[in-house]
Amino acid sequence: MTDWQAALLGVVQGVTEFLPISSTAHLRIVPALAGWGDPGAAFTAVSQWGTFLAAVAYFRRDLAAILFGASTTVAGEGQAGRRLLLPIVLGTLPIVAGGVLFKRQIESDLRSLYVVGSSMILFGLLLLWAEMRRRGERGIESVTLADGLAVGIGQALALIPGASRSGTTITAALAVGLERATAARFSFLLSLPAVFLAGAKELFDEWHAISAAGMGRPLVVATVAAFLAGLASIDWLIRYLRRRPTHAFVAYRIVVGAAILALALAGRIR
């Protein structure tokens, strides 16, 4: 993999990790359309460190409030405080359990383009359902343990390639009554432990293979690109959701999902 290919994949990772349109789907179809081949689950997990660091940088005040009881949050919407710590910890457990139990399927069988395309459509429709039935306008200060568990179960569903971590967690957060920007904000905070653990585990497990394949430099390039693109993506999405619903993302998911299925059936991408 060349540096510019790694940079492009990093930008794709950074933008699509936070938008509810599935980074995994795009990291499958962009290389497939370009004829580069699947970069693999390990590449995706390790390069997610860039998006992890982007979220840490963007939400640094929220994290200070959660961990140390600081009083100022990044969005200026009241103190998140240490009370969010337990919902985040509880919400992390489902994806940890799912990742351990279904690791082989996630890294092989479920990366099929048919699974990716179908998940894009199905979970897009679920996001539409949550948007249409949305009744609540609860802020970050109202998040409970039950909310953390519900959104955590949504995050576990994102182990299915094409589902989208931000998509499933925002869907769950809307379903329990959080307002849109808060849904995205809590979704990203909840993702931090899981992304850190997944990236650390893949780096530990695959380090020798990555070094032997000469993937160290491309991974660094991809991670830096993902960090920069991720910062811009988070800021844009939260601003967008304060003013608009998620319908555009639903439409995009359905169109792209249908295109993936059509191209896969026609043998144009593999």
Q: Where are the domains of the chain?
A: 3-265
What is the token pair recorded at 40? 């693999």
pLDDT digits (tens, 9 = 90+) for 213-229: 667 788 899 999 999 99
State the burial class of residue 93 (Cβ atoms within 10 Å of its Cβ: 0-12, 13-18, 19+). middle
Distance CA 121, CA 99 (A): 23
> Does 173 score more than 90 pLDDT?
yes
Query: For residue 230, which amino acid is it?
Result: G
DSSP 140: G
Region 78-93 average pLDDT: 82
pLDDT at 60: 92
Nearest to 187 by CA among 108, 228, 109, 130: 130
What is the token pair recorded at 22? 């599935």
pLDDT at 110: 65
Which carries the bigger pLDDT value, residue 30 or residue 234?
Answer: 234
Q: Where are the alpha helices (DSSP H) in the chain?
A: 3-18, 23-34, 41-58, 60-68, 85-101, 103-107, 113-133, 145-157, 165-175, 180-212, 216-243, 247-265
pTM of the model: 0.88
